[in-house]
Amino acid sequence: MRVMPETMQRERATVAQSSASKPIEAQEVETSPRTLTKVVATIGPASESAEIVRRLILAGVSVFRFNFSHGTWEEHERRLETVRREAGLLGREVACVGDLPGPKIRVGRVPGSGIEVVPGQDVVFRNDLNDARVEDRGGAMTVVLPSTYPDLIGDVQPGHRVLINDGAIRMLAVETTSEELRCRVHVGGLITSGKGINLPQSSVRAPAITERDWEAVEWSIRHEMDYVALSFVRTASEVRELKDRIWQVRSSCKAEGVGGTVLPVIAKIEKPQALENIESIAEVADGIMVARGDLGVEMEIASVPVAQKRIIEVCHRHGTPCIVATQMLETMITSASPTRAEASDVANAVFDGADAVMLSGETAVGKYPEVVVQTMRRIVSAAESYMKDRDAPPRPPRSFDVGHRLTAALAHGAWQAARDLGAKAVVCWSQNAGTARYVSQQDFSMPIVAYSSNPRAVRRMALYRGVTSVLSDPPVSGRLSEWNEQVDAFLLSQHLVQKNDWIVMLAGRPLGQAKRTNTLAVHRVGEQDGGFYGQ
């Protein structure tokens, strides 16, 4: 959301004049109920037009995911411009996440329409092939495949599982030599060019961050994306490596005067090794994504729901935002309604405590992108209503950076005060998004309104559960009481509260500077006392 001091009115007018879209009508409002849990939507061919982007934002999308595994940089730049423009016209703060491709291992080139393999047949991987072929080896027809990963033969040992096409084709390694890896098919199917290969039991030496990833990181920094998601994370050191590289690229970009924003890192949990190291990963990452697609291939599928719960619990302990992703409403790629099981899946992510739920193909290539977002928001709303009626106790984080213990303590105190008073909203000034993050992780069952004059921080806060971010200059007078008046007017205009409702406020002096939050106050909306009046 945006409040409109004179400087921002000029900025908004400039954005509107440069837009080729039709004007946003005043009556255009959200088409789905307000929810605390955020919706992440993948932008793609089905959702890249200005009209659809606008409708998705109105339907409740807070974060757009850009899948760098597909598309050109020109396409991504065009989509980013569209999202920024439409969000600006609507006065909404929307975050953009760049999803790095990662070291995906794939089958090499397979001629024609592919090669069918059947149970009991042998499949051999070799590095000296350009094209797949079928050979007669001692009277048995053996499929010989190239791969995109030269160390496949050395990394896979006899007894390890080798899966192709998201586990649709399942094989077991039976023999390795210096030149070949021989596998036996247990579940057959059609092998075509570029299908993914998963090695759930093998220690893969492929680097977590590829050259394509580094290219994507630099592009994201130069174009001021709000987050970057690291694929196939195994250890916390890989997250640190990416963060170190981001700082290096950021410094270079700032020297050139192009981009240079801090880029928070979301770690995608999709490998068993990441589950083993989830505590240390959650400690260093700025967000976690439960990427259930590859996770469900790499580990026993019956264990995935338990893994999801465990990951979310760890994220709560560390105060790390958590996104649940993959196949949430998969049926709606082609259908206008989900299955009952999919609806339960979305609701269970809310019950588990996810900060956000994500749509992938449903909005990127699906037939009903707006309908699927509306559907997800309705399911989330129903789940949150159930949780609120139960009046479940909060799950505050147990672990915070020592440098931010005061803010974390104030955030927890705000929860207690809001509960005791029956407050309807919590409001904070969060210049760099830190206070908003800590408040968000307190499991509030009410809206959190977070102010900042930093546009990048305001967009980042769009991912945080329950947070409505507001881009605003601090009061010219510097007085907290003037900001208090602005808060009252905003909350009433957005119908978040009614006059005389209690609210809880967190801030510090002077507003607009980072790491200054040191005061908690309570206030009745519309009254000239309490809160920060007189300060």
pLDDT at residue 26, as a whole number: 38
CA distance 371 to 20: 25
pLDDT at residue 186, as a whole number: 96
Q: Are residues 278 and 303 in the same domain?
A: yes
As a whole number, mean pLDDT of residues 99-110 equals 92
Look up the CATH number of the domain holding residue 148: 2.40.33.10
Q: Are residues 167 and 261 in the same domain?
A: no
Q: Are residues 355 and 502 in the same domain?
A: no
pLDDT at residue 23, as a whole number: 39
Q: Are residues 428 and 352 in the same domain?
A: no
124: pLDDT strictly greater than 90:
yes
443: pLDDT strictly greater than 90:
no
CA distance 73 to 231: 19
390 vs 381, which has greater pLDDT? 381
- The residue type found at 383 is A
14: pLDDT strictly greater than 50:
no
Three-state SS letters, 483-517: HHHHHHHHHHHCCCCCCCCEEEEEECCCCCCCCCC
Instruction: Tally the domains of the chain.
Output: 3
E strands along 102-257, which residues?
Answer: 115-117, 122-126, 133-137, 140-145, 161-164, 169-176, 180-187, 189-191, 197-198, 227-230
Any idea which of 262-271, 381-390, 486-495, 508-517 has the lowest mean pLDDT? Answer: 508-517
Question: Which residue numbers are catalytic?
Answer: 65, 106, 268, 326
3-state secondary structure of 303: helix
Q: Is residue 439 part of a domain?
A: yes
As a whole number, mean pLDDT of residues 272-286 equals 95
160: pLDDT strictly greater than 60:
yes
Query: Where does the pLDDT of residue 400 fall: very low under 50, low under 70, confident under 90, or very high at 90 and above?
Result: low
Beta carbons of 55 and 25 less than 8 angstroms apart: no
The chain-wide mean pLDDT, for the chain, equals 88
Q: Is residue 98 part of a domain?
A: yes
pTM for this prediction: 0.87
CA distance 308 to 324: 8
Token pair of 272, please? 């068993």
Q: Is residue 423 part of a domain?
A: yes
- The residue type found at 478 is G
pLDDT at residue 476, as a whole number: 82
Q: Is residue 481 part of a domain?
A: yes
Residue 394: C-alpha distances to residues 338, 391, 412, 440 (Å): 31, 9, 10, 11
Q: CA end-to-end span of the chain, whole Å?
A: 26
Q: Are residues 134 and 77 in the same domain?
A: no
- The residue type found at 316 is H
CA distance 405 to 400: 6
Name 147's bridge partners. 107
Q: Are residues 325 and 454 in the same domain?
A: no
Look up the CATH number of the domain holding residue 324: 3.20.20.60
Q: How many CA atoms lie within 13 A of 135 on its CB side?
A: 12
Please give the backbone phi and psi of residue 378, each rounded to the nearest 5 degrees, phi first: -65, -40
What residues contact 406, with CB distance under 8 A and at least 6 apart? 517, 518
Q: Please give the residue range of the domain that contains residue 232.
A: 6-102+212-387
pLDDT at residue 252, as a whole number: 80
